[in-house]
Structure 1
Amino acid sequence: MPSLTVPPGAPPILQSLTVPPGAPPILQSLAVTLERMLVRILVLLYLAGAPALAQTLCQPNASNGYRVRISIKTALGNQAYEWNENEMFLFRATMAFAMRRYYKTETYNVDNIIVCNQTRRVSFWFVVISPENPTMLIPKADVEKAVSMSRHRINNAFLLTDRTLEFLGIYPTLAEPVNPDTPPWLIVFGVVIGAVFAGIIALLVSSLLQKRRKEKGMMEDGQDEEDRQMKGVENGINLDGIYNRGFTDDDRFTKL
């Protein structure tokens, strides 16, 4: 059977538990039992101290933390529900889901989502700790990407929207900015070309109207001239008179 070994420099009480080689079997069995008990005690101490240690990592304005602000009354009005521990558990569960989905691993659970500084107006801070090392925080950039990927699912879990479930410091949509299908330069080009064509059409219409006005003016001038000619004849009599050639000839012969 293995014996209990105590490293050099251990406290006297542990050194007294050392079982020398060749000890009776009952002492060796006792040593193994004590060793197992010590291991269990150390594990229990670690598990008891880990949450407390992780809780110290969650502080307001933490470098890898985010503040969440929820407005249930604004979103649901008279149908607003009360925020309680069950709702907080759901939030931690949805965040664990988001982390699993982002990292494509099933090691995250609610214990990895640490919440602190909760207020009655439903505002709190949270951090995400590593499943492998509870003393290490997940980088803020990774948490943001995980939330962005699952934002729609998180909103639906609480019947809220981006404006009523706010992750302060994260882009409101918690998604990649929407890129328009049409490039901006093409939109500007289309506007300029449209303005040019509108100017050309306006110029053509203006020229056509001026041409029609000119033709109409010429027609009116011709009509006026015809009216003036017609004024010389009134009731069938030519008011301009008739040239009498007989008188002109007499005048010519008289001079001789």
Structure 2
Amino acid sequence: MRRDLLSDLTAYPVTGATMTVATVRPDLRPGDRWRAARGLAADLYVLSGRHAIHHCPAVYVGITADLDGQRPAVSLRRWALQTGLLRAERVALIRLLTRPTRPELELIEKRLVRGANAFGIIGLNTVTGAPAATRQLGKRAGAVAAHGDALLADVRRLVLGGARGALTIPATTASETAVRAVLDAGGPVDTPTVVALLQAIAPRHGVTPAASVRRDLTVLEQRTAGVPRVRVLHHDRRAYFYPAHLNRADVMKEVAGW
């Protein structure tokens, strides 16, 4: 990375890693923005700033080694450069203390994006699941996912100032918007209600069929290792989705009207 693209570089010891946080110069040409994510021997990067349309906190997370690849580089340019949706202000460059495998990097990357969305910070990545990495890691997947969640806490503290955003602002994908809708509801909601919430939050996401909503909030949520953001409870032939931090017994009482 060209250091003149950044200023105020500060290194912090964080959970199982070193995180270098820097300010992205506001006078960069648009074509220079994405290059702020390179270098300093980082394994992962988090470009952070404001969403150009919704004016809420937003991030783009990536694996540094992929910047010269095809799809990740294309995705980064799409969201942070061509569409201009991310007004980059700061960048976190994360170097893990151990030499990570590719599945570890992919799972940590996805846990950062998923966690950001759960806090109302728009994760601009269009791929937020890591089912293949989860399978490859086997029994280690849970610990790796937990590391990713801990790093998100470090990113929020050191880069985003503890930022939260409104969960009623649509995420980049329908599945992530559905998760945010359930979290914002704060209690159990059935499939038709989730569809209605999607239509209210983002009409283009609201055209998602009910079957897709159920898949997004069950299958997709479970295939990536780590604590799920949303859980499902079945009662009287209906599926009810609720924030994962709620007690299942209390949710059942509410759903059944006990």
TM-score, normalising length from structure 1? 0.24
**Structure (1 or 2) with the greater helix fraction:** 1
**Structure (1 or 2) with the greater strand fraction:** 2
Structure whose CA Rg is larger? 1
TM-score, normalising length from structure 2? 0.24
